[in-house]
Amino acid sequence: VRPIVLFNQILIVGVGLIGGSIGLDVQRKKLAKKVVGCGRTQHNLNIALKRGIIDEATSHLEEVIEGSDCILLCTPVKSLEQQIPLLAQRASKGTLVMDVGSTKEDIVRLAEKHFQDGISFIGAHPLAGTEKSGALGAEEHLFDGARCILTPASGVSNKMIGVAHRFWESLGMVVQNMDPREHDRALAATSHLPHMAAYALMSVIGKTLDINEISKFAGGGLKDTTRIAASPAEMWRDICLDNSKPLVSVLKKYHSEIEKLFTMIEGSESDKLLKYFDQISNLRRQLNK
Amino acid sequence: VRPIVLFNQILIVGVGLIGGSIGLDVQRKKLAKKVVGCGRTQHNLNIALKRGIIDEATSHLEEVIEGSDCILLCTPVKSLEQQIPLLAQRASKGTLVMDVGSTKEDIVRLAEKHFQDGISFIGAHPLAGTEKSGALGAEEHLFDGARCILTPASGVSNKMIGVAHRFWESLGMVVQNMDPREHDRALAATSHLPHMAAYALMSVIGKTLDINEISKFAGGGLKDTTRIAASPAEMWRDICLDNSKPLVSVLKKYHSEIEKLFTMIEGSESDKLLKYFDQISNLRRQLNK
């Protein structure tokens, strides 16, 4: 995809890891004439300005909505409940609004409730990230080759959906549309559950050994499995509350699976354990690294 | 540490990921005049010969014990139960025998039972590895900068312990002695539990979605947390059985932790969740990547 200027002014609300990394790529690929950043702390906005992520910064969302023809909501999902009604009042006709949150059903329903015709809301979930945070953590090429799932609100035109595809593809992503509910169920298993498993794992290890002992014995396995336990607490609190039903359902399956495992070990069920590990390792080898 | 020739002949029993990687570094650093490999399948031994990991190959352990002044046992831990009595019969006086297994108490007790004076057994646990296996998976520099824990059998001389330190340090490792029981308890938390968590996670995800869907949605988080679920089944069956008590104990703690987590989510306990994730992510950030 050869990038072209898609927007006059992109407004990034929340210039953190994702918002900041989008900003870097938008600037590098010249996808917008101007990038405005909105955030809570001046310190983070200053970093974003200094790194060339944004051209202009503000902490007053209401002042920068009108001139923006693309608004990207990159703050934790709960804060969108305040932002969306404000955008619905102030955004100009023809504006494309997208969020980048990890859960999609609730936010699409909220957007459908608030946005009248003329403003297009498309939920977006770029499946990329690191455990870093803030504008300081933003990276170029973060989205390269990764998948982006779009969940358009009902009534959004095919033309606008095409623009959204074009935007994420310009960042190097493989884009597909999906039903928001189906998205949330799949992601509960493939993303939210692994995060919960990692948090719980780090918690148990932290209760068993002190940090010096952990550091001493930490091999690649421990580091890999707990890397995402360094993820921002606020974001994951919101995801848990927002996608609680599908998440609790897979967490309960996981809970039973752990019980099954220690029951096999306690019973010295050698053949069963071998078969269990063998089937799972074969499955895992079908995924790339 | 400037490497020198430490042994006339090193015998590597089991030329897999660990044994093979040791072989590569021993050859590169010229730590032994000759490296002999012993294994079950000719196919794997041929790969080891072709890659220059070993100078000579055999599938008959009894034939190559005598001429070796260092014997490294690199097969799954259960098979050592056959190998150690055989070594006790045939090994020459002055031989250093080390294993590389992930559990240490049982093997040190077994070695103490069988080896008479003149043969020194030192349990070794190099905290390095990948999810690969076989001589094909062996890599140079695998041990560089990683930690190696030594658990000498009682009665082993300080001189031999010094030789063992020298050997692992020559592979670039940070070496320390430890009580075998203390080792097993610590590793149950820092290594064995993360492997169980990863296997169980991959299992649950595999029951929830098919492999195509998993591949579609697999971000870095899923891949990181489940990478070690591709580890060899036989090895992990053996570790579970060999270290069952400390492992079951931490697995039960983990089981309760998962329950605590879904109880907070089900109860929408926003503040508790935030505090929980916040404490854990702070702890994880104290570990390096």
- ipTM of the assembly? 0.80
What secondary structure, in 3-state letters, does A8-69 show?
EEEEEECCCHHHHHHHHHHHHCCCEEEEEEECCCHHHHHHHHHCCCCCEEECCHHHHCCCCC
Which of A:58-97 have CB within 8 Å of B?
none
Residue-level pLDDT at B179? 95
Interface mutation vs chain B, best among A132, A142, A225, most B CBs within 10 Å: A225
How far B114 CA lies from chain A's nearest CA (Å)? 25
Q: Where are the beta strands (DSSP E) in chain A?
A: 7-13, 32-38, 56-58, 70-73, 96-99, 120-126, 147-152, 174-177
Residue-level pLDDT at A4? 85
Q: Where are the beta strands (DSSP E) in chain B?
A: 7-13, 32-38, 56-58, 70-73, 95-99, 119-126, 147-152, 174-177
Q: Contact A241/B278, CB-based, under 8 Å?
A: no
| Burial readout A259-272 (b: 16 or more C-beta within 10 A, e: otherwise) | eebbebbeeebeee
Q: Residue A252 is nearest to which of B189, B262, B288, comparing CB atoms?
A: B262
Residue of B nearest to A208 (CA): B189
How far B9 CA lies from chain A's nearest CA (Å)? 30
Residues in chain B, overall count: 289
How far B33 CA lies from chain A's nearest CA (Å)? 31
Residue-level pLDDT at A64? 96
Which has more pLDDT, A4 or B34? Answer: B34
Which of A:213-232 have CB within 8 Å of B?
213-232
Residues of A in contact with B258 (CB under 8 A): 196-197, 200, 251, 254-255, 258
Query: In this model, does residue A68 exceed pLDDT 60?
Result: yes
Q: Does B151 touch chain A (CB under 8 A)?
A: no
How far B227 CA lies from chain A's nearest CA (Å)? 7
Residue of B nearest to A227 (CA): B289
Report the half-sphere exposure of A143 (CA within 13 A, side-chain side): 27
Residues of A in contact with B204 (CB under 8 A): 189, 193, 250, 253-254, 257
DSSP B242-274: HTHHHHHHHHHHHHHHHHHHHHHHHTT-HHHHH
Residues of B in contact with A231 (CB under 8 A): 277, 281
Residue-level pLDDT at B181? 93
Residue of B nearest to A200 (CA): B257
Report CA-CA distances (Å) from B44 to A75, A259, B57, B83: 53, 37, 10, 19
Number of A/B CB contacts below 8 angstroms equals 296
Residue-level pLDDT at B141? 96
Assigned token pair, B129: 């590895």
Q: Contact A281/B230, CB-based, under 8 Å?
A: yes
pTM for the model stands at: 0.80
Query: In this model, does residue A1 exceed pLDDT 60?
Result: no
Q: Contact B217/A258, CB-based, under 8 Å?
A: no
Q: Contact A194/B231, CB-based, under 8 Å?
A: no
Averaged pLDDT, A200-215: 95
Q: Contact B193/A186, CB-based, under 8 Å?
A: no
Query: In this model, does residue A289 exceed pLDDT 80?
Result: no
Averaged pLDDT, A263-286: 97
Q: Does B2 touch chain A (CB under 8 A)?
A: no
Q: Percent of chain B scored above 70 by pLDDT? A: 99
Query: In this model, does residue B139 exceed pLDDT 90?
Result: yes
Q: Contact A214/B287, CB-based, under 8 Å?
A: yes
Which of B:123-142 have CB within 8 Å of A?
127-130
Q: Contact A193/B205, CB-based, under 8 Å?
A: yes
For the stretch A9-46, pLDDT in tens is: 999 999 999 999 999 999 999 999 999 999 999 999 99
For the stretch A116-167, pLDDT in tens is: 879 999 999 999 877 788 999 999 999 999 999 999 999 999 999 999 999 9
Residue-level pLDDT at B58? 97
For the stretch B205-223, pLDDT in tens is: 999 999 999 998 888 899 9
Q: Contact B241/A284, CB-based, under 8 Å?
A: no
Q: Percent of chain A scored above 70 by pLDDT? A: 99
Q: B37 pLDDT band (50/70/90 cuts)?
A: very high
Q: Does A278 touch chain B (CB under 8 A)?
A: yes
Residue-level pLDDT at A133? 85
Residue of A nearest to B203 (CA): A280
DSSP B79-97: GHHHHHHHHHHHPPTTEEE
Task: Please give the backbone phi and psi of residue A181, each rounded to the nearest 5 degrees, phi first.
Answer: -70, -45
How far B101 CA lies from chain A's nearest CA (Å)? 14
Averaged pLDDT, B58-68: 96
Strand order in the sheet with B70-73: B56-58, B32-38, B7-13, B70-73, B95-99, B119-126, B147-152, B174-177
- The CB density around residue B38, as the number of other CB atoms within 10 Å, is 28
Q: Residue A277 is nearest to which of B206, B236, B254, comparing CB atoms?
A: B236
Residues with Cβ within 8 Å of A78's Cβ and at least 6 positions away in sequence, in order, are A238, A241, A242
Residue-level pLDDT at B176? 95
How far A221 CA lies from chain B's nearest CA (Å)? 6
Averaged pLDDT, A212-233: 92
Assigned token pair, A182: 């189906």
**A201 contacts B254 by C-beta, under 8 angstroms:** yes
Give the bridge partners for B10, in sequence order. B35, B70
Would you give the distance in Å from CA B228 to the centre of its chain?
Answer: 13
Q: Percent of chain B scored above 90 by pLDDT? A: 90
Q: Contact B255/A262, CB-based, under 8 Å?
A: yes
Give the bridge partners for B122, in sequence order. B98, B152
Which of A:172-191 have CB within 8 Å of B?
186-187, 189-191
Residue-level pLDDT at B2? 61
How far B223 CA lies from chain A's nearest CA (Å)? 6
Q: A245 pLDDT band (50/70/90 cuts)?
A: very high
Residue-level pLDDT at B210? 92
Q: Contact B227/A258, CB-based, under 8 Å?
A: no
Averaged pLDDT, B256-260: 98
Q: A2 pLDDT band (50/70/90 cuts)?
A: low
Residue of A nearest to B187 (CA): A217
Query: In this model, does residue B1 exceed pLDDT 70?
Result: no
Which of A264-278, B4-18, B120-134 has the weakest average pLDDT?
B120-134
For the stretch A94-109, pLDDT in tens is: 999 999 998 999 999 9
Averaged pLDDT, B190-212: 96
Query: In this model, does residue A3 exceed pLDDT 70?
Result: no
Residue-level pLDDT at A58? 97
Which of A:235-264 have CB within 8 Å of B?
236-237, 240-241, 244, 247-248, 250-255, 257-259, 261-262, 264
**What is the three-class DSSP state of B124?**
strand
Give the residue from A235, A213, A269, A233 showing the smallest Cα distance to A76: A235
